[in-house]
Amino acid sequence: MRYLLAAFAALAAWELFRYAALTAAKERLRKRTQRFAEAHGVRVDLFKFGGKQLVREELFNDLAVQRAMLAAAQAGELAEDVRRRVEEYIDEIVPAFSLSAYFEVGLKLAAAAVRSAYRPIIVKRPPDLPRDATAVFLINHRSNFDYVVVGWALAQRVAISYAVGEWARIFPLDALFRAFGGFFVRRGFPDPLYHTVLRRYLQLITRHGVTQGIFPEGGLTRDGALRAPKVGLLDGLLQLALDPAFDRELLFVPVGINYDRVLEDEALLAEKRGREHPPTVPEKLRGALRLLWIVPTRMVFNAFRAATGRLRRSGYAAVAFGEPIAVRALLARRGHLGPGAAAIPLPDDERRELAKDIARELMDRIARCIPATPVPLVARAMLELREAPYSRLAECVRDLREELGRASVPTSCAGGNRSKRSDRRAWWRPSKERSSDWRRRNSWSAWE
């Protein structure tokens, strides 16, 4: 009996110690995160701290969601099943934001991952945004690494909530994205009830000023060219902007991102060359798992290479931010603001056509922001020249940079970059000396 009591006492003491240690660690992380946010003036949206239960109640009490639930019940589905389905959608969509996870874990991991895989550069800094406005960053989608790069670029300015695709709904990515404030989106899902819940959640966080990151293309580009935009999320934002009761300034911030190489290049090229149909969800999950393996492995290898002075990465990862575009300005140019700059609500069909028109303009703004990195520039010069000596290639690259500069297209090497090697005077070069036959064939490698 004494041994049993001693065991219970030891177990109770251990649980008390564990509780005290965890509480102290959480408090320490919270204070460190708060000091970081205050020191850098990071914009943190208070609505994120309301918790999942608050969002659940808001959505269940939303008239549009209730009408969609009633329509599903009238179509023959049991009311209990409809409610259970809505609860599942809410649990799937709504994140569990953690400030400590975002700043103490997420941003440190992002910085380590970005710097181990690439040479990151912010070509054009993000603009200063009004505190009373809701900002939506619209980003071109080159790689699943885009989330990490843009999060790293905005680290000392804002905590951004991404619209994340189904590919990230695997452990541990799903838990990480939820802790970082990301919300999951099913592209092309046929259930109208799901789309109503998603749309009202998007409008709810926009109404409360939550900063968001959206990829209008809705998927990765296979060849670097911008894809046609998906307008579902944009249409939801425009519906809110056209609501006379919406009194916040809604800003779209175009973001251009580019790489010398993308980590998924082999898979994307295979799809581009031979695939007739888009990848299935299991194939996307396998690609995400592959990326989850590649990045940590590369971090370990690059740490060893850095220690031995032989660090090689996948070239540059460049990101550039454009000027914010006020949604009211977009509506005013199209005659959809009434007297006193009041928004004029539109029928669903007209609003969707308006969303398509605005999406085309926004994609054009994003295209102007996409920076030119060294490897694409050299590749473009090689395609134009076919065969030419090294000096002619260098001249063509310089001409391309000047042409891009005149067109106000950002380049990732503005101001020049110095090499550790004494003979590297320009920002381009072959990776190492080859034979004269290799030079003649112009088989130039990418940047390190």
Same-domain status, 344 and 431: no
Same domain, 422 and 364: no
Q: Which two tokens stand for residue 365?
A: 């703004």
Give the per-residue pLDDT at 89.
93
Q: Residue 63: in which H helix or E strand, if any?
A: helix 63-74
314 shares a domain with 385: no
Question: Strands 133-139 and 249-259, how do they pair?
Answer: parallel
Cis peptide before 172 (omega within 30 of 0): yes
In the numeric block, the tokens 């690059």 are attached to 302
Q: State the sign of the Cα–Cα–Cα–Cα dihedral 148, 153, 155, 159.
A: negative
User: Distance from CA of residue 190 to its chain's centroid?
Assistant: 24
Give the C-alpha separation, 420 to 312, whole Å.
Answer: 13
Q: What pLDDT, on the 0 to 100 scale, is given for residue 414?
A: 45
Tokens of 117: 């895989």
pLDDT of res. 153: 92
Q: Which of helix, strand or coil describes residue 257?
A: strand
Q: Which of 233, 246, 255, 189 is nearest to 358 (CA)?
A: 233
User: Is residue 363 domain-shared with residue 423, that is, in the same domain?
Assistant: no
Query: How far is residue 222's CA from residue 215's CA, in Å, rounded to a whole number?
Result: 15
Angle at 236 between CA 233 and CA 241, to 5 degrees: 130
Of 323, 354, 369, the residue at which a domain comes to its end is 369
For residue 435, what are the domain limits? 374-440
In total, how many domains does the chain have?
A: 2
Domain end (from 319, 335, 369):
369
- In a domain? residue 176: yes
What tokens were used for 135? Answer: 């900002």
Residues 76 and 91 in one domain: yes
Specify the CATH number for the domain of residue 186.
Answer: 3.40.1130
19 occurs within a structural domain: no
Q: Same domain, yes or no, for 354 and 396?
A: no
Per-residue pLDDT of the chain (448 residues; tens, 9 = 90+): 777 778 888 888 888 887 777 677 656 655 665 565 556 556 666 677 667 888 889 999 999 999 999 999 999 899 999 999 999 999 989 887 777 777 777 778 888 888 888 999 999 999 988 988 999 999 999 998 899 899 899 987 888 888 888 776 766 667 777 777 788 888 888 899 999 999 999 999 999 999 999 999 988 888 889 999 999 999 999 999 999 889 899 999 999 999 999 988 877 777 777 655 666 667 666 666 666 676 677 667 767 776 666 666 788 999 999 999 999 999 988 888 766 666 778 899 999 999 999 999 999 999 999 999 999 999 999 988 888 888 899 999 999 999 988 888 888 764 444 443 333 333 334 434 433 443 343 333 333 3
Distances, alpha carbon 347 to alpha carbons 47, 252, 351, 352, in Å: 30, 23, 6, 9
Q: Is residue 30 part of a domain?
A: no
Is 24 a domain residue? no
Same domain assignment for residues 315 and 341:
yes
Residues forming beta bridges with residue 137, ordered by sequence position? 213, 253
- The reported pTM is 0.78
Inside any domain, residue 53 = yes
Residue labelled with tokens 């460049």: 318
pLDDT of residue 27: 65
- The reply to whether 346 and 379 lie within a common domain is no
In this prediction, residue 281 carries a pLDDT of 63
- Evaluate whether residue 52 is within a structural domain: yes
The C-alpha atoms of residue 217 and residue 416 are separated, in whole angstroms, by: 32
Q: Which of 369, 394, 409 is the last residue of a domain?
A: 369
Asked if residue 147 is part of any domain, the answer here is yes
HSE of 350 in the Cβ direction (CA atoms, 13 Å)? 9
The SS3 assignment for 389 reads coil
431, 308: one domain = no
Q: Is residue 43 part of a domain?
A: no
Is 363 in the same domain as 389?
no
Q: Are residues 53 and 166 in the same domain?
A: yes
Residues 348 and 430 in one domain: no
Q: Which two tokens stand for residue 74?
A: 């009238």
Q: What is the pLDDT of residue 82?
A: 94
